[in-house]
Structure 1
Amino acid sequence: MDPSKVIVDDFVLTGLRVPGSTKNSFKLGTNTAFAAQFPGLNDMGISITRADLDVGGIFPIHTHRVSELLIVVEGTIVAGFIDTNNNTASYTTLHKGDVMIFPPTLLYFVVNARYTPVVAYACLASENPVLQLVHFALFRNNLPSELVEKITLLDQALL
């Protein structure tokens, strides 16, 4: 960012007050404050995302290359991760005001655990964090089905 062109609006973002649309198969809506939406984050090493989960909503198993701090603002979730050293799942129920840390590169998930909508904020240790949804990586790629079957140990009937 050219310092001579910096304005106060580069350091203010009001979009996180707006709920993300949950009209999708995950019943999950997100609004992000990454460097692309929030220029003041350039070279700061931080970002934030608002996550809205409708009743039955999920943030499917995924990973980031950086750590994440999740803060529940409204509702109740089940959140957890899979330890890739021993394939052990660790999860817990989080309520309004609770916080959970997800270390970098672990596979983790979030599920709306009750019958009311959820609002949570995820603070990430990068201005441009990378999100990798595991099922998209495995099943929305250009590999032939036969190869996907082999590398996932799944039967064609399940794909």
Structure 2
Amino acid sequence: MNQQRGVTVWFTGLSGAGKTTIANAVDRELKIAAASVELLDGDELRQTLCRGLGFSAIDRIENMRRIGFVAHLLTKNGVIVLVSTISPYREIRQELRRKIGDFIEVYVNAPVAVCEWRDVKGLYEQARAGLIENFTGIDAAYEVPLQPDVECQTDRETIAQSTIKVLTKLEKLGYI
């Protein structure tokens, strides 16, 4: 039996940058190719696995560690894991890379102005009005990856172009 190699593909970037959109597109393509794949979405996980965590630095780190733990379990069992979460801190992303091993960091890059324009939930507007505290990109820091494995510049490329970049990296590294 030909067993698939597991890998965690960690999509990081500001709210509204396009992380979930690209992860969903990659998920669809991998499922068409009959890959074993699981999508872990940060918004959904905050309502379940990470319920009760706030947005302080300590809570954000704990949120990432919990998601990373699940991603690691799936990865070591041959699943391609697509994680879509802001994950603002470089150090914890690097810690997760070391722990998981098979790890691809995808920086979904879009300027704050573009993210605000795309914001259907009105989160940026609420953050600027002081209704949401510790909002990444407004009053909480986002540490840009220094050497991401893939960078998707979603203000300059289509969803299809970004998706192809991720799939090409997975193929190049022998995961698909």
TM-score bin, normalised by smaller chain: under 0.3
TM-score, with normalisation over the residues of structure 2?
0.26
Flag the structure with higher helix content: 2
The structure having more radius of gyration, on CA atoms, is 1
